[in-house]
Amino acid sequence: MTILTALFTSLPALLATTSPAQDKAVAFVGGRVLPIASAPIEDGTLVVRAGKIEAIGARTAVAIPVDATVVDCKGKTLMPGLVDTHSHVGGGWGADESGPIQPGVRMLDSVNCRDSGFQRAQAGGITTINVMSGSGHLMAGQTIYLKNRDADTIDGLVYRFADGSPMGGMKMANGTNSQRDPPFPGTRGKSAALVREQFVAAQEYKRKLAAAGNDVEKRPARDLALEGLVEILDKKRVVHHHTHRHDDVLTVLRLAKEFDFRVVLHHVSEAWKVADEIVAAKIPCSLIVIDTPGGKLEAADFDASSAAELEKRGAPELVAFHTDDWITDSRLFLRSAALAVRAGCSRDTALAGLTKNPAAMLDLGDRVGTLERGKDADVIVLSGDPLSVYTRVEQTWVEGVKVFDLAVPDDRRYAEGGWGVGHPRVETVCCLGGGEDR
Amino acid sequence: MKFVTHVTLALLVSSSFSGLLAQDVAVRAQVVHTSEGAALRDAVVIVRGGKIAAVGPAASTPIPAGMRTLTAAVVTPGLVDAHCVIGLAGHLNQPQDQDQHDPTAPIQPELRAIDAYNARERLVEWVRGFGVTTIHTGHSPSALISGQTLIAKTRGDTVDDAVIVPRAMIAATLGADSRDEGKGKSPGTAGKQLALLREALVGAQDFQKKLANAGSDATKRPDRDLRKEALVDVLLQKVPLLITAQRHQDIESALRLQKEFGFKLVLDGAAEAYVVIDSIRAAVVPVIAHPPMARFWGDLENGSRETPLKLRDAGILFAFQSGFESYVPKTRVILYEAAVAAAHGLGADAALRAITIDAARILGVDSRLGSIAVGKDGDLALYDGDPFEYVTHCVATVIDGVVVFEGRR
């Protein structure tokens, strides 16, 4: 009986999942809307349909479609779903202990899409996630950009390049984490030398590929590692580079210049010390905001003022934040931006640093990061100002589908914690999948 | 003239007492949270000779002419971190600055925090800049009994300048953090942990009996034993046993142990307290709850941000701790932690009490600090807005009337 009831009640949910982009419109009415791309709208209307934003504007300027489901947002604040450029949700590891450089390894093949970390991220308003390997390798493999839908397979989450392949960058690191016993490097100089050696090999490989042209006989044997590196040289794949100390940051800038690759600096605890150089090179920074300096040598001079220092030099677009989940909690991602404001960053830059700027850093700026007509309907509904401690994420919508609702007990537990929440996602309806198994 | 004499006397008295120059200082604020009752609007706190001399509405609490006066939007009592490892676990996280855990034996109650506390550690200065004036710190929750704790003010260049209670508690830990599951290592299970603890306490009972039998006859006394002496003081309720236990079965084990040996118990962590809340209430045991932003994995995988709310509703005395972190961030900040609890249903007033007067009560120092009341230590935290808001700054910290931090953190 229970099973029958479950089957019956979950059928609509099942059908909904098979076609997540809803054809019926949803209208968010009456809230304070922060489009990020433009000025706040005090009494706004946002209409979404088929997974995209159909209209946005003042309530008086936007007609609510007759078929629309209306979400009353009076007293609420709406903003784009948050974009986390650096997360470890999904419990996956990419590269293993066999060596410091493993560009052929893909996070795609490691992530557990049913890890409850994805639900906690939804509870924090995060709708796009760059999931990466750790920082114990100079090159830890290909990262994966995920849309934080409710999905039962990794394929249901991945963003894709124009050619259809899973979208992601390349995780690199320098500094102390990747210095270990052989075969890992023991010094900073050796770390850089090993990386240069690989990029030089990739240049040679690329040259041979080009020389062979369409002649399959002349092509060099396939090399998965070098293929990954060639994608960096071709600028298809962005390097996401763990780096903390001022001199390590400058080493990244030097290598990026030598091999002409695109890079986002990650963590950048000492960005405030080398902000002039970062801004001159126009290199984006995905900043971590931690509560206390230290915990390891390269974070000893962490300061939350890095965002403000980049902004002060006229480069607010270079500022993004990330959770580094579990280092900071996906459910508190808004807090990272707020603490940067505490340290002198403007509110506008801080909010762009959670949305528009990180979307651009993942080459997803045309799809997500702002509330604009034609973009993905990734929207969060907040109880108040995004930068207040008392504000809660009340709803998270991905492509026009509500994936988190604080008012629903099964969702709320991912926001608060509690029995079993740390386990992989709890399947309350066996075997059917769909929207009810969160 | 008369007033000047008074100041001079106060300075002399306090300098001979602590080696520091206590000051007279006045603070005027739009809101004063005293942790003694409703907040005061447009109020003044006057500190003389390091002690609070007056607190009240600005209109009826005159500031003596010439007294140094600080202003702020909001003033709270100096914050009390109910449990941390600051001063023992250094910010660099390198072997030479990690003194919170000695792994050579599972039970070492003789290790004193006063022999390890580094008053000049950077993290002391760091939390002071957020208004934290008192810390309960010591050996970490990494061994069955890792050692002793102390209570210190976040001031001073030496442990003697800083410490106010040299031996506050003895720190015990149940659960995964004090198990060693390596082959041949012990304790490797929860059962073995409790067996070892009971064995140590039974040994202390035996030692206590021999001491009592010997009376004043020195020839009959057993040889001194630092380890047993420390545990005898636990049995005599001279010092509480702080038991870190996150899982419900470990919490129940701590309560069972307390019932068997009759010591003063302070529960620590207690991530699954909400499952056994009736047992905790029945035992009338206070709880130093895990940081609300603690990572919910391992023994904390069932942790909840709503636990403080449930403790409050059950009438259980609780406080917050910054706890122990083995990586980044090396310490949490209780101001930040209480803020998140406040926003998750606890409310700002109860959250503030949990890092001021209720923390002081659990630590047994509430007659001296933890609230803004006449006669208590002149420990104050000044903010430019709601202390819990992310974008608010701590603008000054006062300890015993001395302004130990001024800035914008």
Mean pLDDT across B101-119 = 97
> Distance from CA of residue A326 to its chain's centroid?
14
Q: Return the amino acid letter for A348.
A: D
* Nearest residue on chain A to B335, alpha-carbon basis: A291
Q: Which residues contact B231 (CB under 8 A, 6 or more apart)?
A: B109, B170, B200, B201, B203, B204, B207
Q: Does B281 map to a domain?
A: yes
Mean pLDDT across A253-277 = 98
Per-residue model confidence as pLDDT tens digits over A184-208: 999 999 999 999 999 999 999 999 9
| Distance between A100 CA and the closest CA of chain B, angstroms | 22
Does residue B407 surpass a pLDDT of 80?
yes
Are B94 and B68 in the same domain? no
Least confident piece of the model among B22-26, B222-226, B301-305: B22-26
Residue A16 confidence class, pLDDT cut points 50, 70, 90: very low
Are B68 and B216 in the same domain? no
Phi, psi at B274, each rounded to 5°: -65, -15
3-class secondary structure, A261: coil
Mean pLDDT across A229-244 = 98
Q: For residue B328, which residues of chain A lie inside 8 Å, CB to CB?
A: 290, 294-296, 299, 327
Closest partner residue to B340 among A294, A389, A421, by Cβ? A389
Contact yes or no for A342 and B393 at CB 8 A: yes
| Distance between A67 CA and the closest CA of chain B, angstroms | 36
Phi, psi at B124, each rounded to 5°: -65, -50
* Nearest residue on chain B to A305, alpha-carbon basis: B409
* Contact yes or no for B210/B222 (Cβ under 8 A): yes
Quote the pLDDT of residue A22. 61
Q: For residue B343, which residues of chain A lie inside 8 Å, CB to CB?
A: 389-392
Q: Does B368 map to a domain?
A: no
Quote the pLDDT of residue A15. 40
Residue B182 confidence class, pLDDT cut points 50, 70, 90: low
Q: Count the alpha carbons within 13 Å of A187 in the hemisphere toward its beta carbon.
A: 3
* Nearest residue on chain B to A290, alpha-carbon basis: B329
Are B156 and B26 in the same domain? no
Are B219 and B247 in the same domain? yes
Based on its alpha-carbon atoms, the radius of gyration of chain B, rounded to whole angstroms, reads: 22
The winner for highest mean pLDDT among A6-15, A109-118, A308-317 is A308-317
Q: From the candidates B81, B391, B393, which should be mutated to test the interface with A, based on the most A CB atoms within 10 A? A: B391
Q: How far apart are CA A332 and CA A334, in angstroms?
A: 5
Residue B22 confidence class, pLDDT cut points 50, 70, 90: low
Domain ranges for chain A, please list them.
Answer: 2-80+374-437, 82-361
Question: Please, what is the average pLDDT of chain B?
Answer: 94
Does residue A284 surpass a pLDDT of 90?
yes
Residue A272 confidence class, pLDDT cut points 50, 70, 90: very high
Per-residue model confidence as pLDDT tens digits over B41-53: 999 999 999 999 9
- CA triple B10-B14-B17, angle to 5 deg: 150
Does residue A340 surpass a pLDDT of 80?
yes
* Nearest residue on chain B to A339, alpha-carbon basis: B390
Q: How many domains does chain B have?
A: 2
Are B226 and B349 in the same domain? yes
Closest C-alpha to A298, from A266, A275, A270: A270
Are B106 and B41 in the same domain? no
For the record, the structure tokens of B14 come out as: 């306090």
Does residue B209 surpass a pLDDT of 90?
yes
Contact yes or no for A329 and B344 at CB 8 A: no
Quote the pLDDT of residue A1. 34
Are B14 and B156 in the same domain? no
Q: What is the largest CA-CA distance in chain B?
A: 75
Per-residue model confidence as pLDDT tens digits over A134-174: 999 999 999 999 999 999 999 999 999 999 999 999 999 99
| Distance between A105 CA and the closest CA of chain B, angstroms | 27
Quote the pLDDT of residue A425. 62
Does residue A20 surpass a pLDDT of 80?
no
First-last CA distance in chain B: 38
Contact yes or no for B343 and A294 at CB 8 A: no
* Nearest residue on chain A to B342, alpha-carbon basis: A390
Are B182 and B155 in the same domain? yes
Closest C-alpha to A76, from A128, A30, A143: A30
- The interface predicted TM-score (ipTM) is 0.93
Alpha helices in A288-438 (DSSP H): 306-312, 333-342, 347-352, 356-361, 409-416
Residue B184 confidence class, pLDDT cut points 50, 70, 90: confident
Are B43 and B168 in the same domain? no
Mean pLDDT across B173-184 = 85
Mean pLDDT across A300-327 = 97
Q: For residue B130, which residues of chain A lie inside 8 Å, CB to CB?
A: none
Are B73 and B101 in the same domain? no
For β-strands A263-267 and A285-287, DSSP reports them as: parallel
Residues A82-361, CATH architecture: Alpha-Beta Barrel (3.20)
Closest partner residue to A291 among B295, B301, B336, by Cβ? B336
Q: For residue B306, which residues of chain A lie inside 8 Å, CB to CB?
A: 416-418
Mean pLDDT across A340-362 = 98
Closest partner residue to B330 among A295, A338, A391, by Cβ? A295
Closest partner residue to A416 among B297, B304, B339, by Cβ? B304
Q: For residue B388, which residues of chain A lie inside 8 Å, CB to CB?
A: 389-390
* Nearest residue on chain B to A347, alpha-carbon basis: B391
Residue B23 confidence class, pLDDT cut points 50, 70, 90: confident
Task: Choose between B349 and A16: higher pLDDT.
Answer: B349
| Distance between A294 CA and the closest CA of chain B, angstroms | 5
Check: CATH 2.30.40.10 for A2-80+374-437?
yes
Q: Which residues does residue A302 pair with via DSSP β-bridges, in sequence order?
A: none
